[in-house]
Chain A
Amino acid sequence: MGRAVSLARSLLPFLVALPFLWALQRWSPPYPTLVLRYVGINIVLAVSLNVVNGFTGQFSLGHAGFMSVGAYATAKTMLALADVQLAFLPEPASDAVLFGFALLVGMAAASVAGLLVGLPSLRLRGDYLAIVTLGFGEIIRSVIQATPPAFLGASLGLSGLPLRTTLIWVGLGAVAVVVMARRLALSTQGRALFAIREDEVAAEAMGVDTTGYKVRAFVISAAFAGLAGGLIAHSVGAIEPTSFDFKRSMEAVVMVVLGGLGSITGSVVAATVLTVGLELLREFQDYRMVAYALMLVVLMLARPQGLFGTAELWDLWRRKRPAASAASAGPPGGAA
């Protein structure tokens, strides 16, 4: 009974989103669809980075590195499965299952990378962690460039990837990352991450295993960056090491900071605004990056805490708290 309810609660957001995504996929013209796909991928990227930078307060600059691990792992899996069709399913369903599987492989690979980077580097903090993660991102890129061309394509990258990334996949990914982050933020595990952000020494003294939680936050964040990578790979159809360079990491950081460190909806809005904004500015070609940079400068001057600070959109209609619950709590059950 309880199990069924919790399963239903877990699947509900996806079931609600699915018809909308399907309708969009079906009737939206190609260009808006393309932009929306990028919006969704950037939402996955920004919200996942927010778990590390915003929730836990650990400044990571290597998100593109995890993205590339996810992209390459997904792409290699898809290439390996190119001729496979699940016999018991019709072709479209079989393709969907295989792509879902490949995305999961990408997430797993990226989370392993997150663990490998997280374990040694999370003893550092602040600027030092930022530099280490930045270095890590560059190492991944160099390693891929140095591998034999037959394996990961070296500098040329992998091309001819099947274009499987639809709006539905991207939308489900975005819903997944938002649900993941929101449930985390409302849980005791999420509060442990916030405590680390606020005061690491005090968090440790209050029984929070700070190292363990930081590593876990890193792994989760990396996994979803890997998902974003896998989605990009099969949206464009080709990946190369330079698609995931430092600039890409910076873009993600900008989205998180702009939306407000620690605000999930802030990241979602910032990812949307920046992605759509950059597209709209295409008409002005030469002034595009100038306008973009100017917008950031103005926003940071006007609202240094980001658009939302740490607030969330859904707080607006959840303000009314039951006042009775405070009064009804009994005395604590003794010292134990």
Chain B
Amino acid sequence: MTAPALEVRRVSMRFGGLKALSEFELTLRPGELVGLIGPNGAGKTTAFNALTGVYAPTEGEVLVAGARVDGLKPHQICARGVARTFQNIRLFRELTALDNVRVACHAGAASGFFGAWFQTAHHQGEEARILARAEAYLAVMGLSHRRDEVSRSLPYGEQRRLEIARALATGPKVLCLDEPAAGMNASEKLELMQLIRTIRDRFGLAILVIEHDMRLVMGVSERLLVLDHGVTIAAGTPAEVRADPRVIEAYLGDAYLEERHLPAPASPPEGGGPAAGAGAP
């Protein structure tokens, strides 16, 4: 049996006295689509940050295709095959849609600065490959018509899709989507979830999705993990999770209703989004 695409072993994340995530465990096989849910401040984004290297986990191990990656820098983890999107869109705002994706195709670029200055054949071949790849990923996400537009001027839904295109362009084994449907209406959300499934099938990726909309995530993922106060309180198929009394208490109770009226206020354990992790060790 091959190694799972992503294996997270008892990862904990402590910020001073606060344990934002405790003994988080997860195994993702290629082609699996798993949802990560939980109320605000449950530690979902912290979990993402811990496994993409924005934070180094305080305890535990993260393995990608059988190799340890915890403690590496985010760009190194990206090179090992973990790509992500961000809860609050983080596109390269002043760059075109094409260039946003081309940056992500950069990882394998080996020709270096001198190649660029002297326009070596190697460099030019590489540029051509990157261009073709970037255009193909734009096409997959239905963004070819926006190719030369500055990304900040795209409509919201397309910005979200562009972030996914950019993440895909890094050539990942594991794709982590942090609330990809946030701010979309019901039909847009459904469309996006279909698209995510299509991507999974086409590229054989393991996908981990954080999502607030319970119904939506239950409809689309094979397995769910439920976090509350940094603790995994339930895991299993959507049906199992739905029936779990702890989940109902933690998530579907008052907090759930509140959230629907107050979308996404950044809560302390999640560190106000990835920005807080900018100076990661």
Contacts and interface: CB of A to CB of B under 8 A. Distances in A.
Chains A and B come from one and the same complex: yes
Interface of A: 2-3, 5-7, 9-10, 123, 179-180, 183-184, 186-192, 194-195, 198-210, 216, 220, 310, 321, 325-327, 329-332, 334-336
9 contacts: A180-B117, A187-B127, A191-B99, A203-B103, A205-B54, A206-B83, A330-B136, A332-B136, A335-B204
Given A2-B121, A204-B73, A206-B106, A216 B113 contact: yes
Given A188-B106, A195-B92, A9 B119 contact: yes
B112 interface: yes
Nearest to A192: B106
A6 B119 CA distance: 6
B160 interface: no
Contacts of A210: 75
Interface string B94-127: 1100010011111101001101111111011011
Main secondary structure on chain A at its contact with chain B?
helix
Interface string B54-68: 100000000000000
Interface stretch (B16-24, B137-145, B225-233): B137-145
A225 B78 CA distance: 34
Given A188-B106, A199-B90, A203-B92, A326 B144 contact: yes
B98 to A, nearest CB: 9
A198 B93 contact: yes
B116 A183 contact: yes
Contacts of A310: 94
Contacts of A9: 119
B272 interface: no
A206 B103 contact: yes
Q: How large is the interface on B (under 10, 10 to 19, 20 to 34, 35 or more residues)?
A: 35 or more
A207 B106 contact: yes
Contacts of B127: 187-188
B135 to A, nearest CB: 4
A312 to B, nearest CB: 14
Contact of A189 (B78, B91, B112, B139): B112
A10 B124 CA distance: 13
B31 to A, nearest CB: 10
Nearest to A9: B119
Nearest to B125: A2
Contacts of B159: none
A332 B133 CA distance: 6
Contact of B116 (A5, A187, A327): A187
Nearest to B132: A329
Contacts of B161: none
A208 B113 CA distance: 14
Given A194-B99, A202-B86, A206-B170, A189 B133 contact: no
Given A2-B120, A199-B90, A201-B90, 20 more contacts: A6-B121, A10-B118, A183-B117, A188-B106, A191-B103, A192-B103, A194-B95, A199-B92, A199-B93, A201-B74, A201-B274, A202-B92, A203-B103, A205-B74, A208-B106, A326-B144, A330-B132, A331-B140, A335-B204, A336-B171
B266 to A, nearest CB: 15
Interface of B: 52, 54, 73-75, 78-79, 83-84, 86, 90-95, 99, 102-107, 109, 112-113, 115-121, 123-124, 126-127, 130-133, 135-140, 144, 147-148, 166-168, 170-173, 203-205, 274-275, 277-279
B78 A206 contact: yes
Contacts of A6: 118-121, 124
List 3 tightest A-B contacts by C-beta distance, closest first.
Answer: A2-B121, A187-B116, A198-B92
Given A6-B120, A194-B92, A201-B275, A335 B106 contact: no
A332 B79 CA distance: 18
Contacts of A200: 278
Nearest to B138: A326
Given A204-B75, A336-B171, A187 B123 contact: yes
A189 B171 contact: no
Nearest to B137: A332
Contacts of B116: 183-184, 186-190
Which one of A190, A204, A220 has the highest number of Cβ atoms from chain B below 10 Å of its Cβ? A204
Contact of A205 (B78, B94, B144, B205): B78
Contact of B95 (A195, A220, A335): A195
Which one of B52, B173, B278 has the highest number of Cβ atoms from chain A below 10 Å of its Cβ? B278
Contacts of B113: 184, 189, 216, 220
A201 B278 contact: yes
A203 B115 CA distance: 21
A200 B116 CA distance: 22
Contacts of B172: 335
A225 B92 CA distance: 28
Given A6-B120, A9-B119, A191 B137 contact: no
Nearest to A199: B90
Contacts of B274: 201
Contacts of B166: 206
A205 to B, nearest CB: 5
A205 B92 contact: no
Contacts of A220: 113
Contacts of B205: 335
B75 A10 contact: no
Nearest to A205: B74
A198 B95 CA distance: 8
Contacts of A188: 102-103, 105-106, 109, 116, 126-127, 130
